[in-house]
Amino acid sequence: SLFAQVFGLSSVAQVVLGKGLTGQYLSINLAFGIGVTLGIHASGGISGGHLNAAITIMEWALGKLDWRHLSAYLIGQFLGSFLAAATVFALYYDSLYDYTGGNFTVTGPTATALIFSTYPSPTISLPGAFFTEFTATVMLVLGVQVIHDERNNAALKGTQPLITGILVLGIGLGMGMNTGYAINPSRDLPPRIFTAIAGWGTEVFTAGKYWWWIPVIAPILGCFFGSLIYKLLIDFHNQPEEEIEKKTEQTDVETS
């Protein structure tokens, strides 16, 4: 999580503090995709690539993780994300101070809190913002399931991290305007807590009509809904031929 977040957050810092001269929106999309790819490679052998708290919670609720693994993964994700925010803050502190004159704000012409956490577009309503985060996370979970489903047309072994990074890139390219595509509570909440401590104050929780809870709750609900859709529309209809033959044979035996 630390690895992935440093790439992503530092790219936002470079775009914002460089005033568009050292990167554009595409730079941020690419950096988060690269960060996710490398983060999965770094953590794959330890946790299976658990970087997203919403997916971790979903897998625990579905019985794929016990509570010990759930606790360990969530603590690791949140701590890594918090440390990533602190790292980027230290890396760009001089530029932050020069850009803001030492006045760290959440809104206004020199707002910099958006470097670390997501904030909704001024033109989007809270229901619209919630639906955006929910839908983007549904797309994320559907993509992750497709990439790893060995009973379907799964990605080749070793390519999953790269394709997952491309998936995150695609979400950013198509669904990032409204809310900044948090799609992950552990990507958004720990840096927000860091900014509250580091000088931006409690406005990081009240801005955007108390926006902060949406990137926490909407991705979790989106994960469950995305998993359900995949189960109903793909997984149930994609049983291997061996299983179908076994069920047919069992039915024949029971009939006899």
**For each of the chain's 256 residues, which pLDDT tens digit applies?**
788 899 999 999 999 999 989 999 999 999 999 999 999 998 877 766 789 999 999 999 999 999 999 999 999 999 999 999 999 999 999 999 999 999 999 999 999 999 999 999 999 999 999 999 999 999 999 999 999 998 888 889 889 999 999 999 999 999 999 999 999 999 999 999 999 999 999 999 999 999 999 999 999 999 999 999 999 998 887 776 555 455 545 544 444 4
**How confident is the model at residue 95, as a pLDDT?**
97
The total number of residues shown for the chain amounts to 256
101: left (phi over 0), alpha (psi -120 to 50) or beta: left
**Confidence (pLDDT) at 24:** 95
pTM: 0.90
3-class SS at 14?
Answer: helix
Quickly count: other Cβ atoms within 10 Å of residue 150's Cβ: 8
Q: Cα(36)–Cα(164) distance, rounded to whole angstroms?
A: 7
Q: What's the pLDDT score for residue 252?
A: 47
> What are the tokens at 131?
């639906």
Spans of all domains in the chain? 1-239
CATH of 1-239 given 3.30.1360.170, 3.60.21.10, 1.20.1080.10, 3.90.1150.10: 1.20.1080.10
Taking the C-alpha atoms of residue 192 and residue 94, their distance in angstroms, rounded to an integer, is 20
